[in-house]
Amino acid sequence: MTVTEAPRDAALEAAAAPSPSAPPTGLAAVVGSGDPRTIGKLFVGTSLLFLIASAVVGSLVGIEQYDTAGTEIFGADTTLRMFTLQATGLLFLGVLPLLVGLATAIVPLQVGAATVAFPRASAAAYWVWLVSSGLVLASYAIDGGPFGTEPEAVSLYIAGLIAVLVALAVATVSVVTTVATLRAPGMSLRRTPLFSWSMLVGGSVWLLTLPVLAGVLLVTYLDLRYGEQFLGGSGGVWNRVAWTLWQPTLYVVAVPALGIIADIVPVFARRRHQRHRSAMFLIGLAAALGFGAWAQLGATIDGSDAPAVWINEAPWQAVGFLAVVPVLGLLGLWTGTLGRGKVKLGTPLILAGMGGLLVFLGVAAGAATVIGELDLSGTTWMTGQTTLVLLGTLVVALGGVAFWAPKLYGKLLPDVLSRLGGTLVFLGALVAGIALAVAGALSQSRLVTGGATAVDSGDLDTVETLNLVSGIGLGVAALGLVVAALAMAKRRSGDGPGDDPWDGHTLEWATSSPPAVGHFATLPAITSEAPVYDARHAAAASKTEASA
């Protein structure tokens, strides 16, 4: 276990030591790399591909539901499976690994560490995640996944998803440990950059949540393959997974997005983050409220329809309302920071703003969900809410990639392509999320096949049109993701962006772009949460004094 440690001294020594053989290049350098930047880029790039596929599938499902009576593209059973594929892909193959990848690359830089706490574990996590994601997709190809008719293939889906969860948990342990133990001298927890803080608190809650799903899936696997299928067999698998896409668990996925926005806003406001400690508290509160493993569908001993555990009960309702508080509080702080600063309208800020708006709409929709009189629980209102929160998080993450591109790729991303990609994802998510939510308000059930049975006949045409609109929205989002991927692949030509193209505030901007092995030759004195901002202002002040 100790061989996976690589504190700063060890990494610097390793970099300085003569290499007995030539360092690997090409594919060997990628496959064998324990460099957090390489692992992070692999996570980001691969998850983006899965996200494109997921959005395309979601688009086709929406278009399929244009005619709720007939089936044109997939067929009834396959539509249901494709719905689960889209949701699984969006969360476990897309948004979560994207955030983990970004954190793996950026968090060590932010806290002044030479690398992540367990670089080899992070690398192993990526490859396990990649192979397991392939297994999950392969299971769908052979008639598996939830609602699949081939038991072996359904089992493959469960086994693959368990491995995905283990991989994500291992990568998260590495990131959280980095923040907890490898912060530079002088960087107390209160001075931790907000993205790193959000990974510390959000990642900790992920580590309490992902294993719950893994455990439940394990017993579902055993029950499906060898038992009496008291957990509902193939059709019951989705009931074991779906709670991760609902509030409150849904919110903890968005916690790192809050941290990304909180790091971008002050840089583009050209002033310190207003009330940094309050922001830390609010992000921590959002993470605490996002622990939702207690709110999932129950199971019965005879395999009959399982009642929900605590869903629609008082704690669930309380969390639905309370979750608005940290998001609103943070919005207030960001508005104050921007209002008092000299705003520079860069691509990262625009994307962070659009993503933040989607997350806020999603959280607000969640507050409406818990109002029993509205009767929205169990309808596509919740699917719309999921779309808003997850795609909002995705847009913020794209903003984060644009922001930290100099550290990730050594180049800035092309502004036009980045903005276009993010804007398309934003618009697509907004349209799809609202269309699904309105269809839910018209009583369309959350599961696609037969979902329209509760809809009034007079509203059926409207619901079908809304389904089509949601499909088109997700199609636009898929297009936006393609454009965003192109932006990352193309990057900006010409000389490098310099070490600090945005006039950043936190430690990652005190090193080269891209960072060298070991990240930092020397570190500035850390006396606040914005050491680079401090150093810049101190230098400017002394320059003014000297000239006076």
Partner 1 sequence: MATTAVTTDLEVFSEAPPAPPARPRVLLIGTALAAGSASMVIFALIGLYAKMRHDVLADGEVWMPEEGNVQLTPGSMAMVTLLLSLLTVAWIVQALRNDDRGHALMAFGVTLLLGAAYINGAAYGWQQLGLGVTSSPQALLIYTITGLHVAMVGIGLLFLAVMGFRAVGGQLTGRAAEGVSAAALYWFVTVGVYATVWYTITITK
Q: Is 463 in the site for partner 1 (CB under 8 A)?
A: no
Q: Is 5 in the site for partner 1 (CB under 8 A)?
A: yes
Nearest to 401 by CA among 282, 524, 484, 300: 484
Q: Is 9 in the site for partner 1 (CB under 8 A)?
A: yes
Question: Residue 299 or 439: which CB sits closer to partner 1?
Answer: 299
Six token digits for residue 425: 């994802």
Helix axes 233-241 and 151-181, enclosed angle (nearest 10): 20
Place of tokens 């396990």: 128
Scan residues 176-195 and list those touching partner 1 (CB under 8 A).
176-177, 180-182, 185
Contact with partner 1 (CB under 8 A): which of 61, 100, 109, 214?
Answer: 214
Give the position of tokens 């903003």.
Answer: 399
Whose Cβ is closer to partner 1: residue 214's or residue 425's? 214
Binding mask 117-146 for partner 1 (x = CB under 8 A): xx----------------------------
- By rule CB under 8 A, what count of residues binds partner 1? 42
Q: Which stretch binds partner 1 (CB under 8 A): 92-100, 174-182, 349-357, 369-377?
A: 174-182
Spatial CA neighbour of 290 closest among 257, 256, 255: 255
Distance CA 318, CA 467 (A): 30
Among 13, 228, 461, 503, binds partner 1 (CB under 8 A): 228
Our CB check for partner 1 shows the closer of 186 and 524 to be 186
Interface of this chain with partner 1, residues 464 to 523, rule: CB under 8 A: none
- Of 86 and 209, nearer to partner 1 (C-beta) is 209
Name the residue nearer to partner 1 (CB basis): 9 or 152.
9
Given 173, 237, 363, 452, the residue binding partner 1 (CB under 8 A):
173
Q: Is the Cβ of residue 165 or residue 474 nearer to partner 1 in the bound state?
A: 165
Question: What distance in Å separates the CA atoms of residue 53 and residue 73, rounded to the nearest whole number?
Answer: 16
Give the Cα separation of 353 and 339 in Å (integer): 14
Measured from the CB atom, is 54 or 174 closer to partner 1?
174
Tell the residue number behind the tokens 């059926």, with chain if given.
460
Binding segment toward partner 1, per CB under 8 A, in 186-194, 203-211, 357-365, 412-420: 203-211
Residue 400 beta carbon to partner 1: minimum distance, rounded to whole angstroms:
23
Instruction: Give the closest residue to 268 by CA, choosing from 335, 337, 344, 341.
Output: 344
Phi, psi (degrees; rounded to nearest 5) at 379: -110, 175
Smallest gap from Cβ 203 to partner 1, in A, equals 9
**CB of residue 282 vs partner 1: minimum separation in angstroms?**
23
Residue 310 region by backbone torsions, left for phi larger than 0, else alpha for psi between -120 and 50, else beta: left
Alpha carbon distance 126, 519 (integer Å): 21
From residue 111, alpha-carbon distances to 157, 176, 186, 244, 471 in Å are 37, 11, 10, 30, 41
Q: Is residue 226 part of the contact set for partner 1 (CB under 8 A)?
A: yes
Q: Name the minimum Å distance from CB 208 to partner 1.
A: 5
Q: CA torsion, points 467, 471, 477, 478, in degrees to nearest 10?
A: 160
- By the 10 Å C-beta count (0-12 exposed, 13-18 middle, 19+ buried), 157 is classed as buried
Cα(105)–Cα(173) distance, rounded to whole angstroms? Answer: 14
Instruction: State which residue, 208 or 454, has the beta carbon closest to partner 1.
Output: 208
Residue 298 vs 498, nearer CB to partner 1: 298
Task: Output 138 or 207, the one with its CB closest to partner 1.
Answer: 207
159 binds partner 1 (CB under 8 A): no
* Rounded distance between C-alpha atoms, residue 57 and residue 67, angstroms: 17
**Minimum distance from CB of 2 to partner 1 (Å)?**
5
CB 191, min distance to partner 1, A: 16
Tell which one of 28, 189, 218, 454 touches partner 1 (CB under 8 A): 218
Q: Is 498 left (phi over 0), alpha (psi -120 to 50) or beta?
A: left
Taking CB under 8 A as the binding criterion, the range among 2-10, 54-62, 352-360, 493-501 that sits at the site for partner 1 is 2-10
Beta strand spans in 303-380 (E): none
Count Cβ neighbours within 10 Å for each residue of 254-278 and write b for 16 or more, e otherwise: bbbbbbbbbbbbbbbbbbbbbebee
Q: Which residues between 285 and 324 bind partner 1 (CB under 8 A)?
A: 293, 298-301, 309
Q: Which of 339, 354, 334 is nearest to 397 (CA)?
A: 354
CB of 449 to partner 1, least distance (A): 27
Residues of the shown chain interacting with partner 1 in the complex, contacts defined by CB under 8 A: 1-2, 5, 7, 9, 117-118, 169-170, 173-174, 176-177, 180-182, 185, 204, 207-216, 218-219, 222-223, 226-228, 230, 293, 298-301, 309
